[in-house]
Amino acid sequence: MFISGKKLKSCLLYLLIILVTLSAASLLASKYALSVTHITSTTGKVSSSLRIVQLTDLHDSSFGRGNSRLIRKVKEQDPDVILITGDLVNAKQENTEIAVNLIRNLVKIAPVYCSDGNHEVEYQENYGTDLHELYREAGAQILDREYQDVEIAGQQLRIGGIYGYCLPAKYEGEARADETEFLTRFQDTDRLKILMCHMPVCWVINESLDEWNVDYVFAGHVHGGEVILPFAGGIYAPDMGWFPGRLEGEFKSKDQERTLILSRGLGTTEMIPRFNNIPEIMVVDIDGEK
Ligand SMILES: [Fe+2]
């Protein structure tokens, strides 16, 4: 079949318009829409179900006035506990109101635990503000190389938080002694161990999930690779490079006993905007073995 040059031109033009429209829609959805990812996991360490909502990498984003859409969506999940795994704020913007307002509202839904991301650490260096104190005043529990033994939904939990890579101790000379000291203490319990650790790289690549006796690790930081291409996945992650794979979802240790939950998070500060990457609320149901 012969297509005239004029027809071919208009076909290409239509194609271009469709492509530009879809790209614009994806950019907007990756900034303003919200998705909920459900993961169900079983363990012999709980006798009934426990629902965890994880939020990460908000980066001062707003979903509705005062984050009303985000708060409503979290409430709809009816969580037993909410984990915020860092980067609520942006290191180079002095605003803390969005983060504090979010915590104030989330604590009305369930207990809120926070750990630092690199942006909290840099923010405190830049502005000298004690973010931990602000988050605490808003009602959250801040865990910075600390843990709490708590009972939530009838389950005995140890919830901890650390800002660091958590490299296994076998990497002598590279593993940080203070992290090793904390993790050695943290893993020493029969309770269900849940760790908030912003940076996932060592859990994904350096066998931290096999070496540290932690039941569940919740991480963020890599924003799903920022731009997600069909079939190829996220294009780039700090510490992990280009097209590294394993940038979102659930990952198991070799013995299948331990789990890393890696969320794409909610926002970004990168020059390249999120694309094909809808902001994510992570919902994890931990069920007892039948
Ligand atoms: Fe981040």
Asked, for residue 139, whether it belongs to a domain, the answer is yes
State the pLDDT at residue 173. Answer: 86
Distances in whole angstroms, Cα of residue 233 to Cα of each of 27, 225, 243, 250, 260: 16, 8, 7, 15, 18
Q: Is the pLDDT of residue 48 over 80?
A: yes
Task: Kindly list the protein residues that place their beta carbon closer than 5 angstroms to ligand 1, a single-atom ion.
Answer: 57, 87
Q: What sign for the dihedral angle of Cα 97, 102, 108, 110?
A: negative
E-only strand ranges, 46-90: 50-55, 81-84
State the pLDDT at residue 181. Answer: 95
The total number of residues shown for the chain amounts to: 290
DSSP 223: G
State the pLDDT at residue 101. Answer: 98
Distance 96 CA to ligand 1 centre (A): 16
State the pLDDT at residue 1. Answer: 61
Distance 90 CA to ligand 1 centre (A): 8
Distance 57 CA to ligand 1 centre (A): 4
CATH number, domain of 195, equals 3.60.21.10
Asked, for residue 201, whether it belongs to a domain, the answer is yes
Distance 6 CA to ligand 1 centre (A): 48
Q: Which domain holds residue 263?
A: 33-288
State the pLDDT at residue 223. Answer: 97
Domain count, the chain: 1
Show the CA angle centred on residue 158, arms to residues 155 and 160, nearest 5°.
140
Distance 221 CA to ligand 1 centre (A): 4
Tell me the average pLDDT across 166-188: 93
Asked, for residue 234, whether it belongs to a domain, the answer is yes
Tell me the average pLDDT across 101-118: 98
Nearest CA to 159 out of 108, 199, 111, 118 is that of: 111
Asked, for residue 63, whether it belongs to a domain, the answer is yes
- Percentage of the chain beyond pLDDT 90 is 87
Nearest CA to 161 out of 117, 101, 210, 211 is that of: 117
Tokens representing residue 32 in the block: 């303003």
Which residue(s) pair with 192 in the sheet? 157
Distance 252 CA to ligand 1 centre (A): 23
- Lateral strand order in the sheet of 216-219: 146-152, 155-162, 192-197, 216-219, 259-262, 249-252
Asked, for residue 116, whether it belongs to a domain, the answer is yes
Q: In the predicted model, what is the mean pLDDT of the chain?
A: 95
Q: Is the pLDDT of residue 290 over 70?
A: no
Tell me the average pLDDT across 202-207: 94
Asked, for residue 21, whether it belongs to a domain, the answer is no
- The residue ranking higher by pLDDT, 271 or 71, is 71
Distance 15 CA to ligand 1 centre (A): 34
Distance 120 CA to ligand 1 centre (A): 10
Asked, for residue 11, whether it belongs to a domain, the answer is no
Lowest mean pLDDT of 5-9, 110-114, 167-171, 224-228, name the range: 5-9
Q: Is the pLDDT of residue 225 over 70?
A: yes
Q: What sign for the dihedral angle of Cα 63, 227, 162, 287?
A: positive
Distance 223 CA to ligand 1 centre (A): 6
State the pLDDT at residue 2. Answer: 67
Distance 86 CA to ligand 1 centre (A): 7
Distance 196 CA to ligand 1 centre (A): 14
Distance 222 CA to ligand 1 centre (A): 7
Phi, then psi, of 208 in degrees rounded to 5? -60, -35
State the pLDDT at residue 36. Answer: 98
Asked, for residue 278, whether it belongs to a domain, the answer is yes
Distance 118 CA to ligand 1 centre (A): 7
Distance 31 CA to ligand 1 centre (A): 14
Which residue(s) pair with 280 in the sheet? 35
Distance 227 CA to ligand 1 centre (A): 14
- Those residues whose C-beta lies under 8 Å from the C-beta of residue 190, and which sit 6 or more positions away, are 45, 156
Nearest CA to 178 out of 195, 162, 198 is that of: 162
Distance 248 CA to ligand 1 centre (A): 14
State the pLDDT at residue 76. Answer: 98
Distance 163 CA to ligand 1 centre (A): 13
Q: Is the pLDDT of residue 27 over 70?
A: yes
Distance 169 CA to ligand 1 centre (A): 26
